[in-house]
């Protein structure tokens, strides 16, 4: 592999995944990953632009930022690109009224959205709310539509909590796709539109930006598809087999965000 | 389409799907589909061989037969090919110890199976037991195995109860396949091994047999793949769009089992 100086040359902006990179969720809100609080602070003091790009869909942006600040992170709502607000924009633009299968924690993001007489379904990481009854209701709504439209806030396979691996929204998206014979529209990583809006908000072109995430497909593969570079951290849901993924090869693998920031501060924007 | 006499010529054995053909499940056990009790009786009085071939995996064979008899059907346990007993055979042959994600109603079928220290997962139509917690547990068991093995008792998309369409096991199989990056082994229709055992138990070759079902893919497509003929009934989960399915064309579409039996008694085995 080329030297880090070559791999990181010309990077001006950094997109940071949150869960598994900054912190691991779990009991009591979760725990910061060692070194990440300081790494974010160092990055923000540097000449590099920084933005947070998450598929978190259990919590509203306000709640997520509140949690991160309690864990010591310097982050504000305006710095976070998240799928629920992006979905609301799409729903408004297309005049769609969703049936929501989402966690109670994120429901407030949809307060301004008309959910009467639904003509589409939005699913997010609903956690325990992915009951048979709720899944069946979403299925029945879709089957009654002439043109069933399903939005999925991300399509991650699983994420890591302090207690272990947890099913993410992706498997449930696949379940509804198969049940209804349809294909979902993904709002969130790895959708190109989502990276596009995060980069626009950061004011950096794709070829000048790097994504740092723990998901080899959603973070690394998605960012590379969009013309960015991407590093995978060996924290969060990282598994050793990710370094031999059959389709996706990161521009680099680092032990954690702290190491990524060391390398960026040394080699980027040169 | 050719005349019925041509389409049904040489049929000596009939495989009957149960749910959606004999009865629709639902409150209080469900209700016989009009004309089906008599149709089964007429078929059994004829020269044609008859066997029941179901993907029912919420109930044990004993409970299913008990319910059908209460609804008036002439059927015994020995006449029913069902996925749970077929799965038990496979587990024993391969020395596998399953983690079971199944409905309580079918658990007794696995009484003789060692479920300690599981090295595979078996999922069936678990209904309300497809909770997030249970799905996550099955996922975690699979992710801890070096070679994760997942058996799915059928892969139906949905079925019809008297109250409406209900998600079947297939969507949940797809969810676990996607979450773990694996492919399930299906025990039940449309697996060729399953049709093979049903035909062996009936003593009829595939080219002499016809399947009657309400599932255009699982019943009709599966049976045709195995070299049988197949009729779709317009009861149960049938939807008008099934008659224009992009991949599967039944050898005939009939309003219900009674019409299928009328035609068979008139034209088969000639």
Question: Are B189 and B158 in contact, with CB atoms under 8 Å apart?
Answer: no
- CATH number, domain of A255, equals 3.40.50.1000
Among candidate residues B145, B169, B187, the one where a domain is terminated: B187
Packed helices A169-180 and A132-144: angle between N→C axes, nearest 10 degrees: 40
Indicate the pairing of strand B209-213 with strand B229-233. Answer: parallel
pLDDT mean over A235-261? 96
Q: How far is A201 from chain B (nearest CA, A)?
A: 31
- In this complex, do B167 and A127 lie within 8 Å of one another by their Cβ atoms? no
- In this complex, do A132 and B135 lie within 8 Å of one another by their Cβ atoms? no
CA pair distance B152, B105, nearest whole angstrom? 16
CB neighbours of B22 closer than 8 A, spacing ≥ 6? B16, B32, B33, B36, B40, B52, B68, B71, B73, B257
**Does residue A188 come out as left (phi exceeding 0), alpha (psi in the -120 to 50 range) or beta?**
left
Among candidate residues A158, A187, A216, the one where a domain is terminated: A187
Task: Report CA-CA distances (Å) from B91 to A211, B12, B144.
Answer: 45, 33, 19
Among candidate residues B146, B172, B187, the one where a domain is terminated: B187
DSSP reduced 3-state for A257? helix
- For the residues of B110-141, what is the DSSP string, one character each? GTTS--SS-SEEEE---GGG--HHHHHHHHHH
Q: Are residues A183 and A88 in the same domain?
A: yes
Residues in A closer than 8 angstroms to B172, CB to CB, are: 175
The answer to whether A158 faces chain B, any CB pair under 8 Å, is yes
Indicate the pairing of strand B158-161 with strand B164-167. Answer: antiparallel
**Which pLDDT value is given to residue A161?**
85
CA pair distance B198, B203, nearest whole angstrom? 9
Q: Are residues A176 and A208 in the same domain?
A: no
Q: Are residues B252 and B179 in the same domain?
A: no
DSSP reduced 3-state for A19? strand
Say whether pLDDT at A134 is over 70.
yes
Q: Are residues B34 and B118 in the same domain?
A: no
Q: What total of structural domains would you count in chain A?
A: 2
The answer to whether A163 faces chain B, any CB pair under 8 Å, is no
CB neighbours of A3 closer than 8 A, spacing ≥ 6? none
**Which pLDDT value is given to residue B270?**
60
**Which pLDDT value is given to residue A269?**
67
Q: What is the pLDDT along chain B (270 residues), one digit of tens a residue?
A: 789 999 999 999 999 999 999 999 988 889 999 999 999 999 999 999 999 999 999 999 999 999 999 999 999 999 999 999 999 999 999 999 999 999 999 999 999 999 999 999 999 999 999 999 999 999 999 999 999 999 999 999 998 888 889 999 999 999 999 999 999 999 999 999 999 999 999 999 999 999 999 999 999 999 999 999 999 999 999 999 999 999 999 999 999 999 999 999 999 866
Beta bridge partners of B233: B254
pLDDT mean over A229-238? 96
CA pair distance A53, A228, nearest whole angstrom? 13
Q: How far is A175 from chain B (nearest CA, A)?
A: 4
Task: Count CA atoms within 13 Å of residue B223 on its CB side.
Answer: 31
Q: Are residues A71 and A87 in the same domain?
A: no
Residue range of the domain that includes B10? 4-82+189-267
The answer to whether A139 faces chain B, any CB pair under 8 Å, is yes
Task: Report CA-CA distances (Å) from A222 to A7, A40, A193, A213.
Answer: 18, 22, 11, 11
In terms of CA atoms, which chain A residue is nearest residue B172? Answer: A175
DSSP reduced 3-state for B217? helix
Structure tokens at A224: 């590379």
- For the residues of B15-32, what is the DSSP string, one character each? EE--BTTTEEB-GGG-EE
Q: Are residues B234 and B214 in the same domain?
A: yes
Q: Are residues B101 and B148 in the same domain?
A: yes
User: What end-to-end distance do the CA atoms of chain B give, in Å?
Assistant: 19
Count of beta carbons in the 10 Å neighbourhood of residue B60:
22
Q: How far is B270 from chain A (nearest CA, A)?
A: 40
Residue keyed to tokens 């407030």: A108
The answer to whether A129 faces chain B, any CB pair under 8 Å, is yes
Q: Are residues A52 and A170 in the same domain?
A: no
Residues in A closer than 8 angstroms to B175, CB to CB, are: 167, 171-172, 174-175
Is the bond into A190 cis (omega within 30 degrees of 0)?
yes
Q: Cα-Cα-Cα-Cα dihedral of B247, B165, B29, B115, to 10°?
A: 70
Task: Please give the interface size between A and B, counted as residue pairs whose CB atoms are below 8 Å apart.
Answer: 87
CB neighbours of A131 closer than 8 A, spacing ≥ 6? B128, B130, B131, B132
Q: Are residues A143 and A194 in the same domain?
A: no
The answer to whether A159 faces chain B, any CB pair under 8 Å, is no
- For the residues of A167-193, what is the DSSP string, one character each? E-HHHHHHHHHHHHT--PEEESTT-HH
Q: Are residues B258 and B200 in the same domain?
A: yes
- For the residues of A86-121, what is the DSSP string, one character each? HHHHHHHHHT--EEEE--GGGGGGGTTS--SS-SEE
In terms of CA atoms, which chain B residue is nearest residue A137? Answer: B166
The answer to whether B154 faces chain A, any CB pair under 8 Å, is no
CA pair distance A22, B266, nearest whole angstrom? 72
| pLDDT tens track for A64-93 | 999 999 999 999 999 999 999 999 999 999
**Which pLDDT value is given to residue A268?**
87
**Which pLDDT value is given to residue B269?**
67
Q: Are residues A75 and A202 in the same domain?
A: yes
- In this complex, do A179 and B166 lie within 8 Å of one another by their Cβ atoms? no
**Which pLDDT value is given to residue A28?**
86
Q: Are residues A164 and A210 in the same domain?
A: no
Structure tokens at A166: 């947890």
Residues in A closer than 8 angstroms to B130, CB to CB, are: 131-132, 135
Is the bond into A59 cis (omega within 30 degrees of 0)?
no
E-strand stretches of B35-184: 49-53, 80-81, 98-101, 120-123, 150-153, 158-161, 164-167
């Amino acid at each position: 592999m080329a030297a880090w100086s070559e791999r990181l040359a010309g990077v001006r902006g950094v997109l940071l995944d949150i869960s598994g990179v900054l912190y691991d969720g779990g009991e009591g809100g979760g725990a910061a990953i060692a070194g990440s609080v300081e790494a974010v602070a160092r990055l923000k003091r540097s000449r590099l632009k920084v933005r947070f790009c998450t598929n978190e869909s259990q919590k509203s942006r306000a709640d997520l930022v509140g949690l991160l600040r309690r864990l010591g992170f310097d982050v504000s709502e305006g710095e976070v690109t998240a799928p629920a607000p992006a979905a609301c924009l799409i729903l408004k633009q297309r005049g769609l009224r969703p049936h929501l299968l989402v966690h109670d924690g994120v429901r407030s993001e949809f307060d301004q959205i008309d959910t009467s007489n639904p003509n589409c379904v939005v699913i997010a990481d609903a956690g325990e709310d992915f009951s048979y009854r709720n899944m069946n209701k979403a299925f029945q709504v879709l089957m009654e539509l002439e043109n069933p439209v399903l939005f999925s806030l991300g399509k991650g396979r699983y994420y890591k909590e302090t207690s272990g691996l947890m099913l993410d929204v992706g498997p449930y998206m696949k379940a509804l796709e198969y049940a209804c014979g349809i294909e979902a529209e993904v709002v969130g990583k790895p959708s190109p539109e989502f990276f596009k809006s995060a980069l626009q908000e950061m004011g950096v072109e794709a070829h000048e930006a790097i994504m740092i995430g723990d998901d080899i497909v959603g973070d690394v593969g998605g960012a590379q598809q969009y013309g960015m570079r991407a590093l995978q951290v060996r924290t969060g849901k990282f598994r050793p087999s990710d370094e031999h993924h059959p389709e996706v090869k990161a521009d680099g693998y680092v032990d954690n965000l702290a190491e990524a920031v060391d390398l960026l501060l040394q080699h980027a924007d040169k």
